[in-house]
Amino acid sequence: MLEDVYRLMDQFGHAEAKALAENWKRQALNQDFENRLAGTVTPPDDSPETLRQSLAQMDFRSRKDFINSVTRERAPFLEPETQSWRRAGYYLLQARLEYLEEIMRRSSGDNQHLEYLEEPAHSISNVHASTSPSVNRISEMLIKWERDGQRPDITIQEWRLAIRRFIDLKGDKTVETITPADIREFKEALLQVPKRVARNDRSLPMPQLIAKYRKNNCARLHPASINKILAAVRSVLSWCIKNGYIDRNPALGIAAPLPKVSAKSRLPFDSEDLKAIFEKSPVYLGQARHPKCGIATAYWLPLMALYTGARLEELGQLRLTDVKQQDDLWYLDINVDGEGKSLKTSGSMRQIPLHPKLLELGFISYIASIQRLKHTHLFPHLNHHQEKCTRQFSKWINKYISQDCGVEDTRKVFHSFRHTFKDACRNAGIPRDKHDALTGHADSAVSSRYGVGFQITVLYEEIKNIDYPISVTPWTTPANSTIRLAKQKLR
């Protein structure tokens, strides 16, 4: 987004500034024409003399309220007091001077030759008209955006839904006719969309959906969800700018205000939480509890998250071939190789040494049992045909943590294992660059872009120092349950 802003500022030269000012003057004179027809003319709150003085002194600060009121709507990427802003200010003051002189002529009785001014070809909204045919509808731009580069399946589906919702409300507009007012109206409509919708209502167009749930006192979409939808529309329009279809992004800077929060949305587990989960809960006590995800999945995924800091989906989508060995060291290769895999960012691709505790608990024996059943995935009980194979597991484990383990704080969920790992890295004295490498967090330093990163042996020497005050019962492959469930999966 910043790249788009800088590019637009660089391109905002004299031609664009003139077009902006001419467009404002045209609309202001047309509004005066309408007011005169309706008999509601009000005298202007400015005079040509003071404007001429401001222009003579190049004094834009005293007129910043007027300049900002125009640029905020028509060129929101212009930063006040910059050269581009001053350039726009110069032509806007000239246009306002010409507007006031025309208003004075009209007020002196010269109303016989008033003319409604049509938008000229050089208007700022038509700067790229020659390269932007009228058939460039946003639905077509979405298709072109999808084809231009590799996009994760989950991103494509979310972006399609966002554009579909926009079309529901505003129609399949050509991208050059989409205005900031359209995006604001879309944002206001999204604020009325219910958070949860009955299955039979999910295909309803957005206006019908809003109307049906209007009187229903239910939770609405969270502002963060709304901003994600707006970001999808913004990114498609940004792609249109880069490819010359439009000259500005009407969605730039428009977002739903996020609620102020005094506490973190996610918290790490403390020592008592970890004991409740790994020492006192049914899965780790070996009690007769076989969740839909499989007892092995329920046992290993929380432990792996605790000792690797990896995200849930990163672990759930692992294949057996992603568990690798270098000399005596075992490690996970987090990658996007193979169908159905996706990562949050390119920096999420990494290699994580397996903590000695995981090997001590029998992780290699678990792998051997899965290999004997000729599975390709490390956790075959997850639904690897879904966009996110851990979707159902995520719902189950978070309920399990709160209900079966007694962790009542709703800010403590499966993702808290990642926060716990980060704190454990700090407490173990692991340097930030190394625990960022373990968790796939980007390093902003320029030097981090050189080379391929730390060797597995270096990371292992750090990760082995992590320790938790828990005693976990080692894994033993059940004689019946895991094998039977796996065979059922095969059938």
Q: What is the pLDDT of residues 86-133, one digit of tens each?
A: 888 999 999 999 999 888 888 887 777 788 887 654 444 443 333 334
Is the pLDDT score of 448 beyond 70?
A: no
Within-domain flag for 101? yes
Last residue of a domain, one of 93, 127, 161: 127
Distance CA 275, CA 281 (A): 9
Same domain for 143 and 119, yes or no, is no
Same domain for 439 and 303, yes or no, is yes
Domain extent, residue 175, equals 138-242
Same domain for 18 and 147, yes or no, is no
Q: What is the CATH number of the domain that holds 409?
A: 1.10.443.10
How do strand 350-353 and strand 323-326 relate by DSSP bridges?
Answer: unpaired
Same domain for 17 and 84, yes or no, is yes
What pLDDT band is residue 463 in, cutting at 50, 70 and 90? very high
Within-domain flag for 89? yes
Within-domain flag for 258? no
Same domain for 107 and 144, yes or no, is no
| Residue found under tokens 């980007």 | 442
Within-domain flag for 252? no
How do strand 329-334 and strand 323-326 relate by DSSP bridges?
Answer: antiparallel
Number of domains making up the chain: 3
Within-domain flag for 327? yes
Same domain for 351 and 215, yes or no, is no
What pLDDT band is residue 491 in, cutting at 50, 70 and 90? very low
> How much is the pLDDT for 432?
92
Distance CA 440, CA 351 (A): 9
Same domain for 418 and 308, yes or no, is yes
Same domain for 297 and 441, yes or no, is yes
Same domain for 338 and 372, yes or no, is yes
259: tokens are 């609620």
Last residue of a domain, one of 75, 94, 127: 127
Confidence (pTM): 0.55
Residue 293 has, within 13 A of its CA and on its CB side, a CA count of 23
Distance CA 334, CA 353 (A): 11
Structural element, H or E, at residue 103 = helix 83-107
Is the pLDDT score of 479 beyond 70?
A: no
pLDDT digits (tens, 9 = 90+) for 190-206: 999 998 888 888 778 88
Residue 406 in 3-state DSSP? coil
| Contact between residue 247 and residue 124 where contact means Cβ atoms under 8 Å apart | yes
Distance CA 241, CA 9 (A): 13
Q: What is the dihedral of CA 481, 486, 488, 491, to 10 degrees?
A: -160
Distance CA 147, CA 226 (A): 25
Within-domain flag for 82? yes
Same domain for 216 and 346, yes or no, is no
Within-domain flag for 164? yes
Same domain for 65 and 155, yes or no, is no
Residue 170: CB atoms within 10 Å = 19
| Residue found under tokens 């049914």 | 282
Q: For residue 430, how far is the Cα from the chain centroid? A: 30
Within-domain flag for 6? yes
Distance CA 489, CA 154 (A): 25
Same domain for 200 and 297, yes or no, is no
* Interior angle at CA 335, CA 334 and CA 339, nearest 5: 130
Instruction: List all residues 6 or more positions away from 205 whose beta carbon is below 8 Å from its beta carbon.
Output: 168
